[in-house]
Homo-oligomer: A and B are copies of this chain.
């Protein structure tokens, strides 16, 4: 086993009998070099198994080819969809995605961000971040496009592609109210200073707001457990709800995963869905379509959100003139109720 170092552009140049620059050109812009030369260089590249070093290239050209993405977690299918849509677009333009996740831990945010910035990404995409003073300062100092996604912040840092989580909650409440329910409940996670992502809390607040507007009590609004939410959360939250507001007719869960957990727990308890308890969720997870009865939910096109974000980045980085900060984009991708069978007119 030859433990020799990786071949560099120098060695390729030497073997092909050309200068380093010519090799560089063959790799990045082949058309400008004579076919005969190009072939010779390509052969040398193949012979040596040369793979260009992007770090060195980036240092020189000031273009690292990185786009940074900061997520609360990888485990959530919707965030995975975002990453997916984003990668699809970025691959076409030769950007690599650099993913960091915080696991909803506030302390990790700054650490992760510094780490990300040390790689000199050309743009950065953020989800559900808290944006402390120091975070904002670091971001601005990076002097690259900043994109906040999956939310619609009132005071955005720069670009926004998302939807209103508050509106999600309101839509759910209105949907249930329209069907004549009056004893409404909602379940989400406990939100305190140590929690990074406030999007779930926004949804639950939107729900509460609509309840208050209609003069209804908010005793059925339960904050239980902590993010990330999953099936189990629904089980526990339902039990708490049954203690606190046993007469609840209809329930909104801030995540489909919780909602599915609730449906399953209802089955175990022998409660009929939706006759004994109506349930709706958020996120349009695949499992919601499969359970019996299938889950009513609110859909957001996360994959499209990811690809739109990707396209905006490519645009932003492609345009020679760095757009002024006041030309920040703000895109609402909207949301839609998907009616299935877990809710029925009362």
Q: B83, A51: Cβ atoms under 8 Å?
A: no
Q: A286, B84: Cβ atoms under 8 Å?
A: no
List 7 tightest A-B contacts by C-beta distance, closest first: A55-B55, A54-B118, A49-B141, A231-B290, A264-B290, A75-B80, A74-B80
Apart from A1-B325, A232-B286, A261-B290, what are 13 other A-B pairs with CB-CB below 8 Å? A1-B140, A6-B120, A49-B141, A51-B142, A54-B119, A55-B56, A55-B58, A55-B120, A56-B59, A75-B84, A99-B99, A230-B286, A231-B289
Q: A64 — which chain B residues lie within 8 A by C-beta?
A: 55
0 or 1 for each of A193-224: is its CB under 8 Å from B? (1 = yes): 00000000000000000000000000000000
Q: B292, A53: Cβ atoms under 8 Å?
A: no
0 or 1 for each of A40-66: is its CB under 8 Å from B? (1 = yes): 000000000101111110110000100
A interface residue count range (under 10 / 10 to 19 / 20 to 34 / 35 or more)? 35 or more
Q: A231 — which chain B residues lie within 8 A by C-beta?
A: 286-287, 289-290
Q: A142 — which chain B residues lie within 8 A by C-beta?
A: 6, 51
Q: Does any Cβ of B come within 8 Å of A267's Cβ?
A: yes
In chain B, what residue has the closest Cβ to A2? Answer: B143
- 9 residue pairs from A and B, CB less than 8 Å apart: A3-B322, A6-B120, A49-B141, A55-B55, A55-B64, A74-B80, A74-B83, A261-B290, A264-B290
0 or 1 for each of A279-316: is its CB under 8 Å from B? (1 = yes): 00000001101111000000000000000000000000
Q: B325, A260: Cβ atoms under 8 Å?
A: no
0 or 1 for each of A233-250: is its CB under 8 Å from B? (1 = yes): 001000000000000000
Whole-angstrom distance from the CB of A15 to the nearest CB of chain B?
15
In the complex the two chains form, what is the Cα distance from A291 to B264 in whole Å? 6
Q: A77 — which chain B residues lie within 8 A by C-beta?
A: 75
Whole-angstrom distance from the CB of A83 to the nearest CB of chain B?
6
Q: Does any Cβ of B come within 8 Å of A96's Cβ?
A: yes
Max count, chain B CB within 10 A of own CB: residue among A6, A55, A80, A322: A55
Q: A322 — which chain B residues lie within 8 A by C-beta?
A: 3
Q: B117, A51: Cβ atoms under 8 Å?
A: yes
Whole-angstrom distance from the CB of A176 to the nearest CB of chain B?
24
Q: A260, B290: Cβ atoms under 8 Å?
A: yes
0 or 1 for each of A113-135: is its CB under 8 Å from B? (1 = yes): 01101111000000000000000
Q: B53, A118: Cβ atoms under 8 Å?
A: yes
Q: Does any Cβ of B come within 8 Å of A154's Cβ?
A: no
0 or 1 for each of A241-276: is its CB under 8 Å from B? (1 = yes): 000000000000000000011001001100000000
In chain B, what residue has the closest Cβ to A4? Answer: B143
